[in-house]
Amino acid sequence: MNIKTAILVFANSSKEELLHKPIIGGEKLFTELTKKTLSVVESSGLPFFVFTERKQSGKTFGERFVNAIQSIYDLGYENVITIGNDTPHLKKHHLLKSAVQLEKNKFVLGPSADGGFYLMGLHKSQFNFNTFLQLPWQSKHLTKSISLLVTTARIEVAQLEVLYDIDTINDLKIISKLSFTFSGTLRSTIFRLTHSPIEISIYTDSIKDTYRLQSFYNKGSPIFSNSSFYTT
């Protein structure tokens, strides 16, 4: 076991996740995703720590995330691999490869398709608390900003493959087409959510509301403004 490296699982409870991600009826989904993530983490053999909202400290996401990373270094670990619970294609080999790259003093980044990342691995010498606080957390520019930060500091980056994470029902629909390796429970949960009568009903109602708004106000198509509710 590599005692220099620890995994930080930064993931809220299913109930808390649903307050931030617009997936109706998704509590079981995030419960299953957390189970899958922890199973992968345990299979790596690396020490790990789970930070749900009960253990996180700080007002903003950036503060909570950066504080969690610092707390792992404070325990004496030299390397931290950070992951969430919303990337179902994360595998043991992603974690082990990251640990190997960290031993070579590389900064590890697993980019998500939406511009964020599903994994970040860094040595304590590469971590500056105040600098990381200023990063554009929860935005599509995050991975680019981090890459620029570390390359400017002349730190070599080891990049993993791009994976999809789950923030919206559209993400889930993409994931559903790639779910053949998932457990039966997770596959069936994803199928129910992506074929939900509730989702169809809400979509139909939103189209009706959009039509009424267009007819009454005549200010262009509000269907595009609705997308602001689905930002990450």
pLDDT at 199 over 70: no
pLDDT, averaged across the chain:
84
* Neighbour tally for 207: CB within 10 Å: 11
> What is the value of pTM for the model shown?
0.81
- Give the type of residue at 230: Y
Tokens coding 96:
């082990």
Instruction: Tell me which residue of 122, 109, 110 sits closest to 164, measured CA to CA.
Output: 110
Which span out of 44-48, 214-218, 219-223 was modeled with the highest average pLDDT?
Answer: 44-48
What is the tens place of the pLDDT at every residue in 100-126?
Answer: 999 999 999 999 998 889 999 999 999
Instruction: Tell me which residue of 53, 154, 164, 70 sits closest to 117, measured CA to CA.
Output: 164
In CATH terms, the superfamily for domain 5-159 is Spore Coat Polysaccharide Biosynthesis Protein SpsA; Chain A (3.90.550.10)
pLDDT band, very low/low/confident/very high, at 196 (cuts 50, 70, 90): low
**Strand 157-159 with 107-111, pairing:** parallel
Q: In the β-sheet with 117-123, what is the strand arrangement from edge to edge?
A: 48-51, 5-10, 79-83, 117-123, 107-111, 157-159
Domain ranges of the chain: 5-159, 169-218
The residues, any chain, with a CB within 8 Å of residue 201's CB and separated by 6 or more, are none
What is the tens place of the pLDDT at every residue in 154-166?
Answer: 999 999 999 999 9
Strand partners, 110: 119
> What pLDDT is recorded for position 100?
96
> What pLDDT is recorded for position 197?
59
Tokens coding 86:
């919303």
Average pLDDT over residues 191-198: 78
Helices H / strands E in the chain, number of each: 9, 6
pLDDT band, very low/low/confident/very high, at 77 (cuts 50, 70, 90): very high
> What pLDDT is recorded for position 144?
87
pLDDT band, very low/low/confident/very high, at 223 (cuts 50, 70, 90): very low
What is the tens place of the pLDDT at every residue in 37-47?
Answer: 999 999 999 99
Q: What is the CA angle 53-57-60, rounded to 5?
A: 85
Q: Are 141 and 111 in contact (CB under 8 A)?
A: no
> What pLDDT is recorded for position 151?
87
> What pLDDT is recorded for position 80?
98
Q: Which helix (H) or strand (E) holds 204?
A: helix 197-217
